[in-house]
Amino acid sequence: MKILDRYILSRFLYNFLSSFVILMFIFIFQTIWLFIDDFAGKGLDIMIIGKFFFYMMPSLTEKVLPLTVLLASILTFGTFAENYEFAAMKASGISLQRAMLSLIVFMVLLGGVTFYFANNVIPASEQKIYNMRRNIAKVKPAAAIEKGVFSDFEGMSIKVDDKYGEKDRFLRNVIIHQKSETNVNTTVIKAKTGELISSEESELIQLVLRDGHYYRDVENNSDDNKRKYPFAKSNYEIYRMNIEIPEMEQDLEEENVSNREKMKNVSRLLKDMDSLEDDNRRIVTAFSKNIVNRMGAFTPIIKIDTTTAKKGKERIKDSIALQESPIEKDSALISKDSTNALATSSETEFFTGDIIELFKDYQKGQIINAAKNSVSNIMTSIDGKKMELDKRYEIHRRHIFSLHDKYALALSCIILFFVGAPLGAIIRKGGIGLPMVVAILLFLVYYFLGVFAENYSYKGNIHPILGAWLSSMIMLPLGIYLTQRATADRGMMSFGNGIDRIKRIFVKKAKPAEE
């Protein structure tokens, strides 16, 4: 059995490693096409681009490893079945489960290594990638500016017709749009030529513009001055702009602090999840109290003697009849004098009617307008806060999903092995043809289920824990079913019996026509 276990394990490792290398090569080329616009024509060194794709390899492992396990399992056991090696094993009394024993131990170890990889290596590589992409614009400012289109560059939009010179530092036909704090385009700067001057020791980039025009809309708080549309306009020979870039360093691999959930390990995710949950609860509680106070809802009522209820009611009517005060005073009077009357249980007939009928006609309109404005302001505040809270809750859901996704990735390798190994024994085909097609189809189902579940969990449509485990939960029953069929030496489905029945039907119908 030791010889047989070594033989099965060696064949599986050969297929596993060869499939992993080929698939990783394919996925890297796909990544090159995705990021080619970020690097092509920007004067970056080949070493920097090579490091970027090297750091991308651990992230690609999340996609490559499950497909590799599935393909290697189908290839290995499909070849055994095609060459009747499984038939010889079964004739010797070796079951499918015993033949897979060495590979089961290997897959358990692979699952542990995968979890360590997802918990330590992938977060580090994600941080490297993020910081490299962010710092490219700092070390080589011109790399963030594309020719012929407006590019966001440190708080402004800039367009140039051409870049030339060392590191593309010289610019031609520059147009700059600067926005105010209210995100309104108020300033336009044009220049025939420009130059980007940066230094490794300085945290400032200097943009020197030559031979151009400057135009700015002057903001004014006075309504009369706004109608005149004031502006400032000037021509210049040299115009210098100092752009501050915080924490600019020479090395593109600078370790900057980031809050992205994919860059965190399990312990950091657990800590941040608790902090985010506490912060969200605190913000919702504070906002709820603020809204309640603004609405005046749930105001505690002071209980008094019931004998004062009628007197309180009469004072309200007398005060409203005598006073011609603004709506604020009337509202204050109501809230002060009617408290005692509303508190009594014996005078329920007082507040079962419409309280607005106690006011005069012009006061009714003021009350209704004040109520409408109050509700409108509250709804505006709620809508604005809702967007903020949705974003905060989405960040919390992302952390939950990322935490469980690390465990799901490790377990998915084991589950997909129990899908691929019995499937290979059932289809009895080796080589790259049919096993590759079957493996890709199963992986696409697994992968797209994971993508849809991830997006739905981010938006709160399903729970993040369910989203992280959905693909594995669907593949697990399939693995159990295929293992049972392969152990009993049955096909995946009884297609033959169904086809024979259809043939019999057509044969019976054809006989009377021939007669």
| Separation CA 61–CA 123 (nearest Å) | 12
Taking residues 301-312, what's their average pLDDT?
A: 56
How far CA 39 is from CA of 50, 124, 160, in Å, comes to 11, 22, 18
Q: Residue 85's pLDDT is what?
A: 80
DSSP character string of 273-293: HHHHHHHHHHHHHHHHHHHHH
| Separation CA 70–CA 418 (nearest Å) | 9
Amino acid identity at 294? R
Q: What is the pLDDT of residues 457-503, one digit of tens each?
A: 988 889 999 999 999 999 999 888 888 888 777 765 554 455 566 66
Quote the tokens at residue 453. 């579940």
Q: Residue 255's pLDDT is what?
A: 45
Q: What is the pLDDT of residues 203-255, one digit of tens each?
A: 677 788 888 888 887 766 666 655 666 778 888 888 888 776 544 333 444 44
How far CA 155 is from CA of 107, 124, 178, 202, 209, in Å, comes to 50, 29, 7, 19, 17
Is pLDDT of 352 > 50? no
Structure-derived torsion over alpha carbons of residues 357, 358, 362, 364, reported in degrees to the nearest 10: -50
Amino acid identity at 393? Y
Confidence tier at 430 by pLDDT (50, 70, 90)? low
Centre a 10 Å sphere on the Cβ of residue 286 and count the other Cβ atoms it contains: 10
Phi then psi dihedrals of residue 163, to 5 deg:
-125, 140
Structure-derived torsion over alpha carbons of residues 427, 430, 432, 434, reported in degrees to the nearest 10: -20
Q: Residue 141's pLDDT is what?
A: 60
| Separation CA 244–CA 258 (nearest Å) | 20
Q: Residue 460's pLDDT is what?
A: 85
Q: What is the pLDDT of residues 108-154, one digit of tens each?
A: 999 999 999 899 998 888 888 877 766 665 556 666 677 777 777 66
Q: Residue 181's pLDDT is what?
A: 66
Quote the tokens at residue 426. 């059932």
Taking residues 308-331, what's their average pLDDT?
A: 51
Pick from 118, 403, 469: nearest CA to 266: 403
| Separation CA 259–CA 245 (nearest Å) | 19
First to last CA, the chain: 63
Q: Residue 154's pLDDT is what?
A: 62
Centre a 10 Å sphere on the Cβ of residue 65 and count the other Cβ atoms it contains: 24
Mean pLDDT, the chain, as a whole number?
A: 76
* H or E stretch covering 208: strand 204-217
Quote the tokens at residue 105. 């131990």
Cα diameter, the chain: 111
Pick from 260, 305, 301, 292: nearest CA to 401: 260
Strand partners, 244: 204
Confidence tier at 509 by pLDDT (50, 70, 90)? low
Q: What is the pLDDT of residues 373-400, one digit of tens each?
A: 888 888 888 888 888 888 888 888 999 9
Q: Higher confidence at residue 246 or residue 175?
A: 175
Q: Higher confidence at residue 199 or residue 50?
A: 50
Q: What is the pLDDT of residues 17-69, one digit of tens each?
A: 998 999 898 888 888 887 776 666 556 677 877 888 888 888 888 889 998 99
Q: Where are the beta strands (DSSP E) in 138-203?
A: 151-153, 156-164, 170-179, 185-198
Span of 23-37, 198-212, 319-333, 420-434 with lowest mean pLDDT? 319-333
DSSP character string of 308-333: GHHHHHHHHHHHHHH----HHHHHHH
Q: Residue 261's pLDDT is what?
A: 82
Non-local CB neighbours of 258 within 8 Å, separated by 6+ positions: 127, 130, 131
Q: What is the pLDDT of residues 255-291, one digit of tens each?
A: 444 457 888 888 888 988 888 889 888 988 888 888 8
Taking residues 347-368, what's their average pLDDT?
A: 66
Structure-derived torsion over alpha carbons of residues 391, 397, 403, 404, reported in degrees to the nearest 10: -150
